[in-house]
Amino acid sequence: MSSPLKVAIVGASGKVGSFVVKQLTNDPTHFATPLALVRTPEQVKHWKSEIGIDAKLTSIENDDVETIAKAIKGVDAMVFSAGAGGKGVERIFTVDLDGCLKVAEACEQVGVKRFILVSAIMAENRKFWWNLTGLREYYIAKRSADRKYIHANKAEADFAEHKEIARQDVALFIKEALLHPKETNRKTIPLVNGTVPVNDFIKELA
């Protein structure tokens, strides 16, 4: 069996991010102790002393690519689930867009081969979001960050049937995607809650 994957998470203190940390720490056979990249000393203390995972103080807005690269040296995979949470256009661009691109560039610098970006459903469909009040800039940022590597597939059809996914299920899928690179690499994978168990869904992606 291959050695456990070391995964770094940007946005570990967020809702999806903290479920991802739980998923990974509950599966020590496949995952080494995760690394949380966080932006306050209090968060570093929380993750290290209270939760017992690795944590580093890293600002995806203010640090340069080289600094971020240094912080993630040695990890096998990156999960990016940070988001400005709609706190103004400037932060959407510095976090959701440029922050994400900087982390991706840092991964390239140090040879982190897997990058999972938690995006926004229907980001590829400009007609869907162009007139959504207050969301246009957010979607521009998400779509542009997505397109660094990959192209869309059938987001529209999936979204028409179901409209939501629980964040716990996003985290479960992220863990499974890390374990199934062949089926999930270089893909935009729209996710909504439905009736297909995650393992069957992953097989369908092959």
Which residues are identified as catalytic?
Answer: 138
Nearer to ligand NAP, 74 or 86 (CB): 86
Nearer to ligand NAP, 4 or 14 (CB): 14
Question: How far apart are alpha carbons 12 and 15 in whole angstroms?
Answer: 8
Least separation in angstroms between CB 31 and ligand NAP: 19
Q: What angle do CA 26, 164, 82 make, to 5 degrees?
A: 55
Which range, of 21-29, 68-76, 116-124, 181-189, touches ligand NAP by CB under 6 A? Answer: 116-124
Beta carbons within 8 Å of 111's beta carbon, 6+ residues apart = none
Nearer to ligand NAP, 15 or 187 (CB): 15
Rg over CA atoms, the chain = 16
List 15, 30, 56, 70, residue binding ligand NAP (CB under 6 A): 15
The helix-helix angle for 15-25 and 167-179 (nearest 10°) equals 50
Q: Assess 23 for contact with ligand NAP (CB under 6 A).
A: no
* Contacts (CB under 6 A) with ligand NAP, residues 69-108: 81-85, 95, 99
**Six token digits for residue 145:** 């960050």
